[in-house]
Structure 1
Amino acid sequence: MCSVGDSFNLDISELESDLYKCLDCSNEFKSMGKRVLCPTCHSKKVQKIEKEA
């Protein structure tokens, strides 16, 4: 195995995620990325929920 450079640590909990609501099953969940799917019913019909200040 060949490796270049040092290893790195990535804590997923530190990444910014957005809150979404599924328009089919009403599930609310956190996700990130461009193609968000509901983890419960796998629907593409999701709406981003604005964070309250």
Structure 2
Amino acid sequence: MCTVGGPVDIDFDEGLKPKDYKCKDCGGSFSSLGKNIRCPTCGSDNCIAA
């Protein structure tokens, strides 16, 4: 096995906080992580950060 560099020191809890979103189609509010946000209620991707 080949490795590059030393050990990785990352705290995965740091900076990975979900953002609050609101669906513009059904009006649902939810929290999510990631780039391709979809409403868990209706499946729409027409969501904005709240």
Task: Report the TM-score range of the alignment, normalised by the length of the smaller protein.
Answer: 0.5 to 0.7
Q: Over the residues paired in the alignment, what is the CA RMSD in angstroms? A: 1.7
Dislocated runs of 4+, deviation >3 Å: none
Q: Which runs of 5+ in 2 are unaligned?
A: 1-11
Amino acid at match of 1:44: D
How high is the TM-score relative to the length of structure 2?
Answer: 0.68
Q: Identity over the aligned pairs, expressed in percent?
A: 43
Q: Number of paired residues?
A: 38
TM-score by length of 1: 0.64
> Where in structure 2 are the equivalents of 1:29-44 lying within 5 Å?
29-44=30-45
Structure-to-structure mapping, 1:1-53, within 5 angstroms: 15-49=16-50
For the pair shown, which has the larger CA radius of gyration, 1 or 2?
A: 2
Structure 1: gaps (5+ residues): 1-9
The structure in which a higher percent of residues are helix is: 1
